[in-house]
Amino acid sequence: MKLDRRSFLAAGLLGSLSALLPRALAKVLGYPRALQGPMIGTPGPRHFTVWVRASGAFEVQLEYSTDRDFRNVLAGSSAMAKAEEDCCVVLRAEALQPDTTYWYRLKYAGESDRYQFLPHQTKTAPAGAADFRIAFGSCCRIQFDPDQRIWNAVRQLQPDMFLWLGDNIYADSDQRQALVDLYGRGRVVERLEPLLRSTPQLATWDDHDFGYNDSDGRNPIKAESLRTFRNFWANPGYGESGNPGVYFKQHYGGVDFFVLDGRYHRDATDKIDNAHKTMLGAAQKAWLKRELKASRTPFKVLAIGGGWSAAENEDGGDSWGVYLTERNEIFDFIRDNDIGGVVCISGDSHMGELNCIPRSEQGGYDIYDFCSSPLAQMPASKNIRQAPEVRVRDTWTRSVNVGLMRFDMTGKTPTLTCTLHDVMGEAVWEPLVLTPDDLKNGVRSWDSKSDPDELQRRERFLKGGGYYGQDVPQGWPDRPYYDGTSD
């Protein structure tokens, strides 16, 4: 084919222009920016942490200031986004003042994000004992609820930190790309984004974000699941050297939080419940015992995906109700080492629950288990076939919900107030108020803290009746009341 002179000149001109197009188009179509985020990660009195997923492999820089207009620009850390880390980076601002508001912004390959014109705001943790709020929840299924109105209520509660207690996504897959896709989708929920950008977010996982439903340590992609989890969260740590996992300790405002991994080292649920069956694995359990013994805070919060009570001691259950030997070993250690102030939080059950394990009857103290579930998933009515050791409050199954722990560590007597809030933000129970004096060996508190209706239901069940006034359903244990000990 021959080109005439005009065609030849036109082709040459197009060729010259095409050499300039990549740079020009990059400004319009492919400029560096945040793909998801930013999100505030692990907090501290002298630092704050920022997670973001960049739109490509380039440098991301954190800048911050004490004023919104950035009259004094301070440089935080920078990091190179890498494809093998899903272009996720974690940045830090250091040498800050405690309990202080800071403004921050990010630069991508030296450029501002054209989709996020305004800076974001966050606050450092207090340096000592404080009056603060911790919100928590579990079971956030974007496939079921893409709007997630619960985050309106969470923001109104103004928590100082949010704990994700598992099933944070519903991947149910052995393909890593399914986890990546769902983490990404979950980070751009409109009602959630303001909370992510301002309030520290810490997380553990449960079965649906670890692998398949009820998955355990045999999960063939658990190493890939852990790598993906680490890419998409900004926790203070991930297990220990030589013992992978997502467990860690976080201190805030005079309280120690022990966030546990109930999946990576878990034995099968149908294994005989004896001293050889574990949910945590030997190394994580030893770490928990060491850290609990070393802790000097008035309250110590144990957080994990599945409930701590015996409620789910049934076929198909995968909470602590089918790992009671190990659970009781931990509670015995707490009693025998005179470790006061332990309370538990959990998720997974698709119900709001406030239960108690009455350990005062074994020489310890009563251990409360506060469950929030779901954040964005169908509530369930499993309570009609379950009976924990003690139900302190009736179960909440009418709507999605979020748990709130309010700690006041500033007075002579520290207090913890537990409330559960529905999708509108209304508290659905009378608050449970605890002090360190309620949580020390030899103190019985469960009956004085429980609703009278729940005490009557428990008494009816102990006598062989149905917990809710009905006959005992077929398939319940032969004994009239499950006492929380393993077979």
Query: Looking at 27-31, 156-160, 356-360, 422-426, which range is the least confident one?
Result: 27-31
Q: What is the pTM of this model?
A: 0.91
Q: Which CATH architecture has domain 34-123?
A: Sandwich (2.60)
- Dihedral angle over CA of 20, 24, 25, 30, nearest 10: 120
Q: Cα(261)–Cα(305) distance, rounded to whole angstroms? A: 8
pLDDT band at 306 (very low <50, low <70, confident <90, very high): very high
Is the CB of residue 339 less than 8 Å from the CB of residue 330?
A: no
What are the extents of the domains in the chain?
A: 34-123, 131-462
Q: Provide mean pLDDT across the span 462-471.
A: 80
Q: Reply yes or no on whether the pLDDT at 23 is more than 70.
A: no
Residue 17 predicted with pLDDT over 50: no
Contact 255, 300 (CB under 8 A): yes
Domain at 131-462, CATH from 3.60.21.70, 1.10.4080.10, 3.30.300.30, 2.40.30.60: 3.60.21.70
For residue 471, the model assigns a pLDDT of 54
pLDDT at residue 2 greater than cutoff 70 = no
Q: Is the pLDDT of residue 242 over 70?
A: yes
pLDDT of residue 26: 39
- Above 50 in pLDDT, residue 15? no
Quote the pLDDT of residue 468.
Answer: 84
Q: Which of 58-72, 161-175, 311-325 has the lowest mean pLDDT?
A: 311-325
**DSSP letter string, 222-291:** HHHHHHHHHHH---S--SBTTB-SS-EEEEETTEEEEE--SSTTPPPTTS--STT--SS-HHHHHHHHHH
In the prediction, which pLDDT does 470 show?
64
321-345 per-position pLDDT tens digit: 999 999 999 999 999 999 999 999 9
* Cβ-based neighbour number of residue 188 at 10 Å: 13
Q: Which of 214-218, 260-264, 290-294, 463-467 is predicted with the least confidence, judged by mean pLDDT?
A: 463-467
CA-CA-CA-CA torsion sign (472, 385, 358, 325) = positive
Q: How far apart are CA 422 and CA 434, in angstroms?
A: 22
Ranking 189-193, 291-295, 441-445, 481-485 by mean pLDDT, the lowest is 481-485
Tokens 């579990």 identify what position? 138
pLDDT computed for residue 467 by the predictor: 85
Please spell the DSSP secondary structure of 155-208, one letter per residue: HHH--SEEEEES-SS---SS-HHHHHHHHHHHTT-TTTHHHHHHS-EEEE--HH
Q: Is the confidence at residue 12, as pLDDT, over 70?
A: no
Q: Give the residue-averaged pLDDT of 168-176.
A: 95
Beta bridge pairs of residue 204: 165
Question: Between residues 338 and 2, which one has the greater pLDDT?
Answer: 338
Is residue 395 over pLDDT 50? yes
Q: Please compute the mean of the pLDDT values over residues 232-248 and round it to a whole number.
A: 98
Buried/exposed 141-160: b ≥16 CB within 10 Å, e otherwise:
bbeebeebebbbbbbebebb
CA distance 132 to 134: 7
**What pLDDT, on a 0 to 100 scale, did the predictor assign at position 191?**
98
Cα–Cα dist 457/236, whole Å: 42
Contacts of 198 (CB under 8 A, 6+ apart): 40, 120, 121, 122, 123
Strand partners, 107: 61, 112
Predicted local distance difference test score (pLDDT) of residue 22: 43
Higher pLDDT, 19 or 101: 101
Among 236, 240, 254, 246, smallest CA distance to 301 is for 254
- Whole-number percent of the chain with pLDDT over 90: 85
CA end-to-end span of the chain: 87
- Judged against a pLDDT cut of 50, whether residue 357 lies above it is answered with yes
Q: Is 406 helix (H, G, I), strand (E, B) or coil?
A: strand
The HSE-up count of residue 285 (CA atoms within 13 Å, CB side) is 20
The DSSP code for 458 is: H
Give residue 30's pLDDT.
72
Q: How far is CA 29 from CA 25, 83, 422, in A?
A: 6, 19, 42
Identify the pLDDT of residue 1.
43
